Amino acid sequence: MAEAKLAPNLPDWMLEHATRYIASGGTEGHMYKVTLPQRGEITAPALLLTTTGRKSGDKFIFPLFYGTDGGSYFVVASKGGAAQHPGWYRNILANPDVEVQVGTKKMNARARTTAGEERLRLWKKALEFWPPYADYQLKTEREIPVVVLDPIH
């Protein structure tokens, strides 16, 4: 099995963040701090999601902001409000078995897209840790997916 690698075409800030996260084994990068115009300083928790490429079969690592819900984690497939879903989301639709690293803790998980009341509830929680998601939703016609990562024990 090939070693997981950082996803291609990540924006520079994500590449830098993920590289620091991986290099430190998760002791750095778990909490991501940034100052945004009109939003001020935001500190959001970040995890590393490893998916299997739907075309290549290669393993790709994506740094994503996350929330918790019960014993599970959830992430938002925003891609900054782009018209199309992010690559990692298209990968999990093809293969929902993923690896997750939260800080120094690593686990296998199964990804699932939320709907209805569950999506709405988690979307509201997501806006608490990353308010720009609201701006991203205004920029796109698609409903931005909220994905739950259920650890496999």
* Token reading at 22: 């991986």
Residues 68-112: tens digit of each pLDDT: 999 999 999 999 999 999 999 999 999 999 999 999 999 999 999
- Rounded to whole angstroms, the Cα distance separating 153 from 94 reads 22
Please tell me whether the overall predicted TM-score, pTM, comes out greater than 0.85 for this model.
yes
Give the DSSP per-residue string, 54-122: TTT--EEEEEEE-EEETTEEEEE--GGG-SS--HHHHHHHH--EEEEEETTEEEEEEEEE--HHHHHHH
The more confident residue out of 125 and 2 is 125
Reported as a single tens digit per residue, the pLDDT across 25-54 is: 999 989 998 888 888 899 999 999 999 999
Say if residue 130's pLDDT is above 90.
Answer: yes
As a whole number of Å, the end-to-end CA separation of the chain is 22
